[in-house]
A and B are shown apart, each in its own frame.
Chain A
């Protein structure tokens, strides 16, 4: 608990310092951020909706990184997931209602996993570094989306580069017609709980963490290292695909060029600052969700560019790593 409070205080400090460093009025900017993210029902709904893809993709990062697979390709896996969901609807346009919802989400999960599977395959068969391959696959995915929304998935006669919108009956229910809050948000605690259970309480979760911590020990304990790593990457990609799917079925209903403002990238700081723990991702995802929701408000009324969020995250990650390493070092010194 003390660690969480310390981290929260640290993140607040980082935010205030970043605002100050860019010459923005700190108190007023913080007020804009607050009003856009946490002040009142609608602001909180916005935060929850923004946090959804962050938390789901963040959980995906936890699974992969815990197994020592540095998946940086969440963005690509998320986009390819949505592309598959949109393709499915394109292929069977007569489908309606919850059946379509379930099929679309399944397509998102499976193809997100498949996209991560390419990196997993290249890693186990050809020894290709996962960091590099997943990053490169992001850029391929971005071009793929650009092609699809201008080509095969563009509705005939349309000149706007986006796919046909899903029927209302297939979208997640809106809990309040005036807000964007959708029932997909309920998936967040459920999946966080499942990931937590898997990693902490099952033998396969234990093996996964062992592989990440010490592959040599894992090997001598007869843990199938390569297979565990592949499974971790596939699940990670599936969660990223689902992150895209929840946004698709919950908010936009169609796929377009700038569909993701970088959720797959944001998922990395979310997972890191969540201490690579499922419950931690829930908290840090909400924080960054609030930051994203608030930065919209700040951009509109405070004139601060939304790119600022990246800077806040960068500083947060570097400061977090620095403190972690310093703490480790002090512990080591105390031991000797």
Chain B
């Protein structure tokens, strides 16, 4: 029984940032913007949360700062992606390198080469073994709000048009630039919250490159979730289940190489992409720059 709770608790704890970031990325990709730089956004935010919690001892303030930093980091690339129509993969790669370099350098400058173990104040948990925290509840709300905004509002219809047929959104009087900017802001905010969660909820410290590919896992989850907030959340939780399985390996000391289970989330993400297949290849104008007449 304890093991079951352990697996579920691990899945929820490690799945929460994936769920949150995937809700934001879903909105952004629906608007036609693919954020390869999500990994970098999360890394910037993880450092910001760590730093603020270390300075103030307040994990909630830390999460707020992370959310803001995430939005700033992603929006800093918006002029390139949206207005200048640069390649989204290239810009995202640049952002990822930048995050790796800046957070790594700041961390080593402040805490020494080996990353002297600094522990910071974290978000408290309740419900015993299951270890629920308030961010998990926020995650549920965010997913529902993302669904509501995308599928139950005029704005959502316009966002989806911007990613499917931007000319149509333009003809209906919407600015595709502004819609995409708003969608990127949402992806940045949620990506930031997810990144902050890594350093002040999931763990209590920072490490160089601590996101370890989670940003890319989120993008895989959005694809498998067929660009739907509920689908993406489900896919994110499914991938997080593999973290729960890692917990089982440790609990039972199973004679399997631990690396297999460290590789599992990525293998599972690949598997879900294969499963998603060609059935629907996503918003038609995804990652395609749009030229707007002013």
Contacts and interface: CB of A to CB of B under 8 A. Distances in A.
Nearest to A305: B108
Interface stretch (A2-10, A85-93, A230-238, A311-319): A311-319
B95 interface: yes
B87 to A, nearest CB: 7
- Majority secondary structure of chain A interface residues (helix, strand, loop or mixed): helix
A322 B84 contact: yes
Nearest to B96: A314
A40 interface: no
A126 B91 contact: no
Contacts of B86: 321-322, 324-325
A307 B89 contact: no
Interface string A120-145: 00100011110111011111100110
Given A139-B263, A321-B87, A126 B36 contact: no
Contacts of A265: 97
A292 to B, nearest CB: 13
Given A122-B274, A269-B97, A140 B263 contact: yes
Nearest to A265: B97
B273 A122 contact: yes
Contacts of A268: 93
A312 B101 contact: yes
B57 interface: no
Contacts of B93: 72, 268-269, 317
B100 interface: yes
Interface string B206-229: 001000110011011001000000
Nearest to A141: B263
A326 interface: yes
A144 B259 contact: yes
B273 A129 contact: yes
Contacts of A138: 213
14 contacts: A22-B109, A128-B273, A132-B216, A132-B223, A139-B263, A140-B267, A304-B105, A307-B104, A307-B208, A314-B94, A317-B93, A318-B98, A322-B86, A329-B84
Closest 9 CB pairs of A and B: A311-B101, A307-B104, A314-B98, A310-B101, A314-B97, A317-B94, A305-B108, A143-B263, A325-B84
